A and B are shown apart, each in its own frame.
Chain A
């Protein structure tokens, strides 16, 4: 599905384990704790730079994020990069409960370079909800620079450099005038080329609107 926009944005392949609720050891029956953890690792122990994390919320109220980075050999430490980020403004009510969220690099407390694993700590303090989790998790690397394809490059070269008009001259500078006339011509061409979004307003098909029954699909 992924509606992620922008050129050169493909999510990094990763394996996310299902949300595991944290339980107190030695409990007789499984209580419903308000904390769950989702671990995410890159395949084959790889590391990657993380620019943005996109996900769909499902009744999680607060999110904390910890990452493990590739570094000097030895026991790897978990570093907290997001602490209790609020997803639902009011955990007892529906606001924000099924919304899509983006976590960007500039929101993080630490560097997101050469990340090997991500740990999402989900908290939902309200006992009103039966389950909570986050879904459709996607991790994006920094985007590559893509060339602008919107308008032809010669258009941008037409902008004349700023030159104050000299009050002592009799006639306007011919070069300046021709540049400006060129600009105007380009503008009119662009306007003509643009298609107006015309509202047709017709509801029939080829003059026929014989409708018998409504369809359920």
Chain B
């Protein structure tokens, strides 16, 4: 493995490189230059004085939050000898399985294209552009004919692929033995057992107060709730990402949740972020993608039919259509096992200068994708902030739920963790379900792929997502009971 010293310097170099071109960097420079006018900055101790000034004015904290965010999102650097695909996914047979799964999706999309004779992407005529701009805030009232479109895949198709995942170097004998797992997942990934989970998720223990349980009507608020809210307000005042992440492990008070999540995800909604969102919006107006119809269909099938989320239909279009055109999402493919689909401009097949990614963000939505956005609509009402929160949640967590990888938060590990815990904790239930031909994973898989969105009441769902953010891990999704 990587030497601790060289690992640290590699991490530092990577973070510096990523932050160097960012708007935070230019803001810090500007602040430093402005501070030169201040009387307390002396020429003899220029460096120290500017550092002190940045600390007292809160800019050092912003930098700390940015560094913390980078550490959370990017995995630790690989060995220098490792090729880039190793960072995406270290196991060769999983890379291969992900590649064949992606090929299936591409074939499905291509065949839909040819059947319907619709191009994957084209520029909108000017009249259509004007029309769309006018009804940008009420795209839900549109009733396009989507009967010929079908979702590219549904979670159950993905489950079939995961069930057939095998390590060619593993003794997958036909005879039942300790090597064959009793559940559906047959790959020997390392998953945590109960003692390890208890240690890692110690704040969820019975002796620690939790929102959602210890703030119910029967419990007097002096015991836990009041103090917890007070601490939350203090954390927000300090604007410290790391403290916020620790705090939400016990749940977020509803009034503070939006700000706390924005702090943890390091979203500040600066003018340049709003401008970026407006640029994405103009991309939506200008170009028409086939993926848009898939998004429309998905929203109509899932979120619009949901009692809690149908009111947010218009928001969902505004977020998801822009998401498809956001090239900054391509960055996450360095640490995701997936690869963005490629294509060529019409008539220029094979010429590399005309190679493009399709869709521009490289993510093809599946049935239920819009449910990742829907719960966030309860927290954020400004479209550009809602968009940024969703995008950050996707590149940190949600992408792992629909790609094949050996990562501990990847869907394969979550499924195996769920099955192992169920076997250990409730063996009779597990055995009974197997006997009647209802493998438990078949029931719970779609809950985990959607991160329980649409399957739990919203207040409970948001408490669950508090823990995902707090522990920076999706493992809480797999634990059958708390």
Binding site for B on A (CB under 8 A): 1-5, 54, 56, 58-59, 89-90, 92-102, 104, 127-131, 136, 138, 165, 172, 176-177, 180-181, 184, 191, 194-205, 208-217
Contact = CB atoms under 8 A, between A and B. Distances in A.
Contact of A211 (B283, B325, B343): B343
B345 A180 contact: no
Contacts of B90: 98-99
A205 B82 CA distance: 32
A20 B43 CA distance: 69
Contact of A203 (B79, B114, B167, B360): B360
A93 B169 CA distance: 12
A205 B106 contact: no
Interface residues of B, number: 68
B44 interface: yes
Nearest to A95: B190
Given A128-B170, A130-B170, A201-B279, A208 B345 contact: yes
Nearest to B276: A201
B83 A3 contact: yes
Contacts of B81: 2-4, 54, 56, 100, 102, 136, 138
Given A59-B169, A104-B3, A203-B360, A3 B82 contact: yes
A39 to B, nearest CB: 22
Q: Which 9 A-B pairs have the closest CB atoms?
A: A197-B21, A203-B360, A100-B79, A93-B190, A211-B121, A210-B346, A196-B21, A211-B120, A5-B80
Interface stretch (B294-302, B305-313, B350-358): B350-358
B109 interface: yes
B179 A128 contact: yes
Nearest to B109: A214
Contacts of A128: 170-171, 179, 188
B460 interface: no
Given A194-B20, A216-B106, A97 B120 contact: no
Interface of B: 1-3, 17-18, 20-22, 25-26, 29, 43-44, 46, 78-83, 86, 90-92, 103, 106-107, 109-110, 113-114, 119-123, 167-171, 179, 187-190, 276, 279, 283, 287, 325-328, 341-346, 349, 353-354, 356-358, 360, 406
B79 A209 contact: no
A99 B1 contact: yes
A200 B360 CA distance: 13
A128 B276 CA distance: 52
Contact of B356 (A191, A194, A204, A213): A204
B24 to A, nearest CB: 12
Contacts of B358: 211, 214
20 contacts: A3-B82, A4-B81, A5-B80, A130-B169, A130-B171, A172-B43, A196-B25, A196-B26, A198-B21, A199-B328, A200-B327, A203-B356, A203-B360, A204-B287, A204-B356, A205-B345, A211-B356, A212-B120, A214-B342, A217-B342
B184 to A, nearest CB: 17
A203 B357 contact: yes
Contact of B188 (A93, A180, A198, A205): A93
Contacts of B2: 102
A204 to B, nearest CB: 7
Contacts of B43: 172, 177, 180-181
Contacts of B349: 215
Contacts of A59: 169
Contacts of B21: 195-199
A215 B18 CA distance: 31
A181 B43 CA distance: 8
Contacts, number: 162
A211 B346 contact: yes
B119 A203 contact: no
Given A94-B188, A100-B79, A197-B17, 19 more contacts: A3-B82, A54-B79, A93-B189, A94-B189, A98-B92, A102-B3, A128-B171, A184-B46, A196-B21, A201-B279, A203-B356, A203-B360, A205-B354, A208-B123, A209-B122, A210-B121, A210-B123, A211-B344, A214-B106
A205 B145 CA distance: 30
Contact of A213 (B25, B78, B120): B120
Contacts of A217: 342
Contacts of A96: 1
Contacts of B121: 209-211
Nearest to B189: A94
Contacts of A131: 169
Contact of A201 (B287, B327, B343, B354): B327
A4 B80 CA distance: 6
Nearest to A1: B83
Given A98-B90, A99-B79, A203 B120 contact: no
A96 B44 CA distance: 52
Contacts of B276: 201
A206 B75 CA distance: 35
Given A180-B44, A209-B356, A210-B122, A100 B20 contact: no
Q: Could you say which of B122, B190, B328 has the most chain A C-beta atoms within 10 Å of its C-beta?
A: B190
A88 B357 CA distance: 37
Q: Could you say which of B109, B179, B276, B326 has the most chain A C-beta atoms within 10 Å of its C-beta?
A: B179
B170 A129 contact: yes
Contacts of B17: 197
A53 to B, nearest CB: 11
Contacts of B83: 1, 3
A10 B134 CA distance: 63
A211 B119 contact: yes
A212 B113 contact: yes
A203 to B, nearest CB: 3
Contacts of B29: 191
A94 B344 CA distance: 38
A199 to B, nearest CB: 6
A45 to B, nearest CB: 28
Contacts of B107: 216
Q: Could you say which of A94, A102, A181, A202 has the most chain B C-beta atoms within 10 Å of its C-beta?
A: A94
A19 to B, nearest CB: 14
B345 A203 contact: no
A54 B3 CA distance: 12
A211 B110 contact: no
